[in-house]
Chain A
Amino acid sequence: MEQEFTITAFSENSIGLLNRITIIFTRRHINIESLTVSQSSIKGVHKFTIVVSATLEKIEKVVKQIEKLVEVLKAFYHTNDELIRQEIALYKVPTEALLNSNEIENIVRKNGARILEVTPDFTVIEKTGYKNETQELFELLEKVSGTLQFTRSGYVAITKNKHELLTQYLKEIDSIKYSTN
């Protein structure tokens, strides 16, 4: 059965690695639903958060193939209930709509969003949450004022484990001497 998984991979920071990782999905005809890459909490280690829908069996194989890449330190996969994950969305609405009634202000407050910037022409609103929540706010704003622009990030996720899974692993391999060239 296909379900949504979040794959997190930790790697060295090297050119082209993203390409090597996405090739693994492309080969198996798996569509990447969202992807974020940034430096992790560990210095010099980058973190990929990849959301895909596939069967567990396929995911297990894919994760091993990711981990096999020379520059990947470790890769994990999680079902949604093992993670806390959020995405961020930015909305641009006409400032005029904000001034004409307090409807937008109410929407912002009720949805736990916040106003980032107000200019005479437009106002930027920010919301973090699950995808359905950011989508809901988008639809509300569309209805009330129309949006000038809307954008959302992919998911970032954190496990429900107490510690970063990688930290333990790095301790293990640091106990063996490795050169890092």
Chain B
Amino acid sequence: MEEPKHIGISFPRKDGEDKVRGILRYLGDKQSPQMLHAALKTSPHAHALISKIDTAEALKALGVRAILTGEDIPGNIGIYIGDKPPLARHKVRHYGEPVAAVVADSEEEAYAALPLIKVEYESLPVIHSPSEALAEDAPLLHEEMKTYTHIPAVIPEPGSNVANRTRIRKGDIESGFKACNTVVEESFSFPPGDHVAMEPRASTAEILDDGQVIIHSTTQAPFVVRNLLSISYNLPVGKITVITFPLGGGFGGKAGIQLEALVYLLSKAVGGRLVRLVNSRENDLVSSPGRTGLEARIRLGCSKEGRLEAAEINYYFDSGAYADYAVNISRAAAIACTGPYAVPNVWCDSLCVYTNHPFATAYRGFGHIELAFAMERAIDLLAEQAGFDLLEFRMINAIRKGDTSPTQSTMDSNTGDLKMCLENVSEMLEWEKGTREEMPDGKVRAKSVTCFWKAPAMPTNADGGVILTFNEDGTVNLHCGAIEIGQGLKTALAQVLAEKLGINPGQVHVVDEVNTRIAPHDWATAASRSLFMIGRALVEAADDAIRQLKQTAAIVLRCPTEDLKVSEGRVFLADEPDIGLPLADVALGYRYPEGNAVQGQVIGSGRYISRRLTEIDPETGKGRPALEWTMGAQGVEVELDPSDGSYRVLKAVCSMDVGKVINPFLARSQVVGGMSMGLGFAGWESFIFNKQGRVINDTLRNYNILRYGEEPEYEVKFVETPQRDGPYGARGLGEQGILGMPGALAGALSGALGRPLNRLPLTPQTIWETGKEGAK
């Protein structure tokens, strides 16, 4: 086989020029004079009955065209469980929940009307955490849970605050613990937070006279939006068009259905006129969904040789007020509950629990960052107690081909080489030189290591498709339903196509905009599955196009198609390369000199649907829900000042088995971006609540994310154990860089402090307090 020309090459981003010139248009950049603008009135309470909403004065305000409240809108929306009214009805369940929406001629007028809406509330007791939600006497947040529609894989428990419970029962947990030499049991937790994509969410809706509904939205899942709008509002799916431009970041926060439903209803309220709703940053942080919090309790045991024998795991996911997406996050965490380790006996209950926090949706890592933090902390504690080096202990237990996952499916020959990843981390951190060092100035340096894994958590029939069309000059247009959200997907796809067609990636034109009426169906740009699934569809589409190109050329060149080859922008006889035609001559059909034309244009199409996935058994979790596992190891080196708890991350490293690197530069960027987000997640990012459950850091002034100059030195090494069913052996890597970082930061700081830090965020004050307790 020939050496690939465009795979493994750092081809420049397709969208780069436009982005550095500031001319790439995001949805919020498009406005037109006929647009009406919406603004949201939100709840200052975390849990309260709405006793009265008076909109009379606001309706009289200049430019106001309509106001909707929850009472005006029937039904709920939600992707996996339909539990959320687009505007709060009867009661509010979280701070920032929208209670009314104003439509006005301008955005200014819409916002100016908000203070004129008078809402009276009657406070209710607030649930601050999953453990409070699970207490015997906890107030019920969703009395009507029994009536909610949900997918079969989700098992709500009406009469409680449990929106979903997923069970894993593998082996025999009690005899597993009996075989253990050392057992630890500990709790771990962190509060919810936000994605903070730099582009706030936005949607527009218009209903045409013939009933067509046109939605523009900053969504990672236009087809999901279309489908759920159709189901929720009884609209023929073919009458709905959802259009998405490139996104200014998503990180999962723009998956599912969000503002689209409300903006559709608002358009309906003003006779179908075009209505635009753009989140303020405050709304984006607390009114639109963020990420889950977690409480975990883990009991973990190993043999004298350091082999993990038994894991008893309780994950309580804090999904906040609504669980529309989070029910699948807790499920994903159950499926992967142990992390990438071979554990013969596993008992896990993973619960998605309602609280009065802002609600959660998908977030980079999707349950796996949560479980990785809890499990990696538990592994550290166990290894320390059993007297093992933290890296060696992970080497002993790293999952391999032939081992079984928590869902009892056997790891196949595509399983990544986790040991190699660990060796790379060891090398990058100079593990053998020691993992803790006290500096002359009183500061302490310490290192850590963690492992992670992730499989896409998606419907068993998740799919993707590609259509290729050609231009007069022989260049190709690549259409698919996946969204460019900054990950560089369309550049990587252009490289795959260029490789297949033997052209330059510059001759592939990618289509930025996704329009559900034009693009082939695509599940969603989520779960780090786009390169894998769209890549597979693209390979099929390219083969289809090549077949058609050869067919046309075979007629003109008067030869069998099987003797032809497509490469370097030509189709030619493989053994007589001089005899051939440029793609430009055959791509739109061949025209003979006298005028006759044959064959017509080449339209390549390809599709992919997840292979042989099953739902898991509701009692034992047995099944094959994972398409492919991407795994790896990470670590950090920190310098802590124990006297005040301040610290700096000196170095962060990651080694990941990605099957095949398509574009090294983009791949590294994705991983480093994930790592930086993971450090923020662990160190300082989370909502801060007051006693009434209000979020008191709902601006970017006090919701901290990593800033320029705070970044550590990053080092990334890829391992390439081919994913044999992936495009050129590649598997997903967009999310994974984040996964091990919280555990790694907590591990290194625990090592430096000499006291376990099991709660996030790791603020200097928390570390200082933990150190002080230890000194007592």
- Say whether A associates with B: no
Interface, chain B (partner A; CB < 8 A):
none
Interface, chain A (partner B; CB < 8 A):
none
